[in-house]
Structure 1
Amino acid sequence: MNYRAMLASGLALAAVLGPGAPAAAHPFGPPTVARAAADGTRVDLSWQPAEDDWVALGQSLGAFEDPSTGAVTTKLTGEQKLARSSTVGDYLRQRITVSQDGQACPGRLEPLDDLLARGARLTFDCPGPVRTLDITVTALTDLNQAYRTVLRAEAATPAEALFTATDGTHRVDFSRSGRRLDPTATLTVGITALGGLGALLLLLSRRRTRSTT
């Protein structure tokens, strides 16, 4: 079944899939991929499930009309219905979270424009400079416990973490992210360089003196 075409079209997905939509997804396939990067006190996280999983999620949250209870509009694509659903937005904000030292980092969900290509994108603002964070990803596991998400974190330890129905939170260390050169190290390098330059000038001066005598 071409889920991408279904989401991009104005068809009523519920009419096509019926009440068993969540089972039509692929919880036993490759895990959903999430990516995280930290900069200062900010964390950017993207979560990108497969097209069929967006369909299952949208149906379970009522983002698509139920043809058995009323008319179905074809003026909006399935992707647009997902993007405009406040229930989908609330779900993502509740199930993808970040905390620092036990304190939640306020997050905002970016507009779900082009979600098939870009996924759901969230930005979190933490109380202090980002080092060690607890990241929680439990989206989709309420539909089927076989769902998993692999997080790939930029310049972090671990570089990858697997989120499951029974292990939905992982601690990630971003200490290496955006690390700047130690000022004392910079000073030491500068002093060493100046010392080397002084020695070179002294050597050249001695050579000139010898050549003129």
Structure 2
Amino acid sequence: MRRLVLGALVALALFGSAAPAAAHPFGPPSTAKVTVRGTSLTLVWHAAEDDWVALGQSLGAFDDPSTELTGEEKLQRSPAVHRYLLERMTVSQAGRPCPGELGELNDLLGTGATIEFECPAKIDEVKIKLAALMDLNDAYRTVLVGDSEALFTVTTPEQQVRLHGSAVPGAVLPLAIGTFAVVVLGVVAAVVLRRRRRSA
């Protein structure tokens, strides 16, 4: 089901774009999972390997000539990468920013990047910004899954999201993915139908 959703999002980007050059350049969109406990919010962001490479290149993370470090280690140690992730993914509550702390980037492809946010009050509704990679190409998307679901794009990088506590492992994610699949596939079908009518 997850592959179906990601494939549908790519199709939407392709059919909805004014030109092929505006399509998503590196495959399926990144994902972000959010869980909440009281006043704390944990955001885990996952991106594909080539997306991490593009990000590192744009921030100069690979400029270090050392041959003893792998590309992943250079990303992990780059202050520019750390600043970028904290600037491009934020949370605020009732107009007040929730300070975020980026965890160690030990396994970029396996565990992704984790940011822990601490908000002023118990979390029910917050504004989440997921704009990573969108400055590199406006065709990038991020799918929010977990206690809520949403699609973040270059035109809607920041959205108000209502949350309801901690995500239940193995239960919330399939529900979010299934609901989102129906919405996205419906939009894709509408776009394709509209184009066919224009052609006719």
Normalising by structure 1, report the TM-score. 0.65
Q: Which residue of structure 2 lines up, in the alignment, with residue 165 of structure 1? A: 154
How far apart are the structure 2 equivalents of 1:144 and 1:58? 14
Task: Give the CA deviation at 1:92.
Answer: 0.3
Deviation per residue, 1:58-99 (Å, 9 max, x gap):
000000027xxxxx2110110000000000000000000000
Q: Structure 1: any 5+ residue segments left out of the alignment?
A: 1-22, 67-71, 179-213
2:63 aligned with 1:65, yes or no? yes
What secondary structure is seen at the aligned counterpart in 2 of 1:80?
helix
Q: Which residue of structure 1 lines up, in the alignment, with residue 171 of structure 2? A: none
For the Cα contact (< 8 Å) 2:26–2:50, is it kept in 1?
A: no
> In percent, how many aligned pairs have the same letter?
54
For the Cα contact (< 8 Å) 1:27–1:148, is it kept in 2?
A: no
How far apart are the structure 1 equivalents of 2:25 and 2:121? 36
Q: Quick one: which amino acid aligns to residue 165 of structure 1?
A: V
Over aligned residues, Cα RMSD in angstroms? 1.5
What secondary structure is seen at the aligned counterpart in 2 of 1:167?
coil
- Count how many residue pairs are aligned between Structure 1 and Structure 2: 144
For the Cα contact (< 8 Å) 2:42–2:116, is it kept in 1?
A: yes
Q: Which residue of structure 2 lines up, in the alignment, with residue 39 of structure 1? A: 37
Q: 1:131 aligns with which of 112, 124, 128?
A: 124
For the Cα contact (< 8 Å) 2:140–2:154, is it kept in 1?
A: yes
How far apart are the structure 1 equivalents of 2:161 and 2:155? 18
Normalising by structure 2, report the TM-score. 0.69
Q: Which residue of structure 2 lines up, in the alignment, with residue 203 of structure 1? A: none
Q: Which runs of 4+ in 1 moved over 6 A?
A: none
Q: Structure 2: any 5+ residue segments left out of the alignment?
A: 1-20, 167-200
